[in-house]
Amino acid sequence: MPFRRGGFRRFGPRMDIPKPVKTGEEYDVEISEVGSRGDGIARVKNFVVFVAGAKQGEKVRIKITDVRDRFATGEKVGAAEGAVEATEEVAEKEVAEEEVPEAEEGATEEVATESEEEVKSEEEVESEEEE
């Protein structure tokens, strides 16, 4: 490959690829990661959007403030519409999980009594050996 003057290769003009987001539009997103500067990172059709003040796992509605070649920036507008339904589902799961540990507690007590019996039997064996 021939090199141009200056010692670097030229890769050609940048193609203006259409972005899946536009300035001023709003989207419901889930923050999947946190960037090095503390901004939340969401993806809209696999296009990275940085959201200031968002935390990982949060479902928010964002408004796009700036669109660049490889990423966009946005600001939180409020909670996502699906977030209300998701919190209701989480509450239902928590109620269901509260019932399960009660049954598990009984099971752990049975295991504890079995281990106590084993300890007692081991102590009996040791006392018999000493005699």
Q: Do the domain assignments include residue 21?
A: no
Quick one: DSSP state of residue 45? T
Same domain, yes or no, for 52 and 97? Answer: no
Q: Provide the pLDDT for residue 131.
A: 54
Both 57 and 72 in a single domain?
yes
Q: What number is the average pLDDT over the span 67-82?
A: 90
Q: Which residue has the higher pLDDT, 87 or 51?
A: 51
Residue 109 has pLDDT above 90, yes or no: no
How many domains does the chain fold into? 2
Question: What is the domain range of residue 58?
Answer: 26-79
Give the pLDDT band (50/70/90) at residue 16.
confident
Has residue 87 got a pLDDT over 50?
A: no
pTM: 0.54
User: Is 92 among the domain residues?
Assistant: yes
Segment holding 121, helix H or strand E = helix 81-130
The dihedrals phi and psi of 19, each to the nearest 5 degrees, come to -90, 145
